[in-house]
Structure 1
Amino acid sequence: MTKRDLEPKMASAKLVYQQLRHMILEFELYPGSRVTETELAEMFQVSRTPIREAVQRLESEGYLSVRPKQGCFIRDLDITRLMQYYDVRVALELFSLDKAALFMPDAQLEKLAADWDPVTQPGRSKSSEDMEARDESFHIRLAEGGGNFAVAEYLADVNNHIRVIRRLDFTQNQRVDLTYVEHHKICTYLLERDVAAAKNLMIGHVKRSEEFAKTLTLTQLAQTRIRARSRG
């Protein structure tokens, strides 16, 4: 395991919790794998007390389970639960489009459309991580543009649970190309106040990512992550 040094003032249960949660969500700690408090304390260079508090919180939130005398076991990849997050995401995205069509200024929509011009593809990166971050930003900007920051916060939370899937989805160039086209069209539809067309396109856009998630097994996940890292 890689050591993660924390500044002395940062060596708290809260910050250990935040980093461990991030590692679980990013699959740096592999689903179903076992880790002990001693190993975690060594990894973070802290005592076992903040580790124990962080682990208890993560267990209460369902990220891992603790088995007496065996250690901590990272939650398995739960495709059913992932699909539930995608269902919630679709509902939030459609609500976001309704609000954006009503309240997002044309200048903001035009700027967002230009940022996703499929011809010039500004901001495109070879890194799937960068592409995934840009994709998240697009959807958050739509939610914020509609004036409902609660929706943006809920979308950000859903993204935390499906981020690694979306990131792996952007290891294929054709998926990146299609995302530019679809994002640009969604903005164009909103500028034309054609909310129905924007919603139909958004549903297909999200469902493609959902279908990709359904195809993943743990073995495929590991192989895809290795390929993504080698490219980037």
Structure 2
Amino acid sequence: MLLKDVAYQTIKEKILEEEYPPGQFLSERTLIQELDMSKTPIKNALVRLESEGFVTVSSKQGIVINDLSIERINDIYNLRIALETFTCDALYERITPQQLGDLRENLEQTKVAAEELDVKGFASLDHDFHVDLSEIAGNKEITRILLNYHDHLLRITLRHLRKDPTRVRKFYEDHVAIVNALEAHQEESITLMRQHLQESKSMLFQ
């Protein structure tokens, strides 16, 4: 891996973990010391992070860690509700046993993460579950959108679950209910997905 990619991944991880919390000011000098790298790979990483909306780089203020606005979080969730209920609608009548098996593999891993209150592991598996559904439905554009939002969705989910790690158990139960409805070829899977995402959004704003 190139140094600029290492710098990008390291800084982004610190932002997602809120080791660099929203609103914090950083300097290139600080990053050079913390990452033990030269200026060039760090500059390249910051250009990429700025293009993705994680930071703002200013010649006067330095590097500012951006937060996701309430409006943007709300918009992302509303987009997910539209896309992922569409996915369930397209899928519930034709999902195959093999495809259900793939989803249940994810559920087994998610169950362990939920029992252990492993917020970071759960958040990653949660994202995989929703992307897997989209991939099974075969809509490449919806999958592409979910993947493009991956890091922002992960950041939202991690912040959400850190408020109350026991919420992972409710989310796990929601996933089980969605898969059970899909397995029974029930239209209810659409409603369950909508409720799951709407409740997730509501909890975040509490």
TM-score category (smaller protein): 0.7 to 0.9
For residue 89 of structure 1, give the secondary structure of its aligned residue in structure 2.
helix
For residue 66 of structure 1, give the secondary structure of its aligned residue in structure 2.
strand
* Equivalent position of 2:178 in the other structure: 186
Change (3 A) 1:122 1:63: closer
Gap runs ≥5 in structure 1:
1-8, 216-232
Task: Name segments (4+ residues, structure 1) moved above 6 Å.
Answer: none
- Aligned-partner Cα distance in 1 for 2:9–2:105: 35
Retained in 2: the 8 A contact 1:102–1:146?
no
Change (3 A) 1:173 1:17: closer
Q: TM-score normalised to the size of structure 1?
A: 0.74
Which amino acid letter does the alignment assign opposite residue 199 of structure 1?
A: I
Identity across aligned pairs (percent)? 30
1:170-211, Cα deviation, whole Å (9 max, x unpaired): 45465333223322221222223222x111111110112111
Which amino acid letter does the alignment assign opposite residue 186 of structure 1?
A: I
Retained in 1: the 8 A contact 2:55–2:64?
yes
* Equivalent position of 1:205 in the other structure: 196
Q: Is the counterpart of residue 137 in structure 1 residue 128 in structure 2?
A: yes
Deviation at 1:97, TM superposition (A): 1.2
Retained in 1: the 8 A contact 2:85–2:191?
no
* Length, aligned pairs only: 202
* Equivalent position of 1:20 in the other structure: 11
Deviation at 1:80, TM superposition (A): 1.2
1:82-131, Cα deviation, whole Å (9 max, x unpaired): 111111211221122133225431343256358648xxx55643311122
Retained in 1: the 8 A contact 2:119–2:165?
no
* Equivalent position of 1:147 in the other structure: 138
Q: Which entry has the higher C-alpha Rg, 1 or 2?
A: 1
Provide the alpha-carbon RMSD of the alignment.
2.7
* Equivalent position of 2:91 in the other structure: 100
Change (3 A) 1:42 1:122: closer
Q: TM-score normalised to the size of structure 2?
A: 0.82
- Aligned-partner Cα distance in 1 for 2:44–2:125: 34
- Aligned-partner Cα distance in 2 for 1:91–1:43: 41
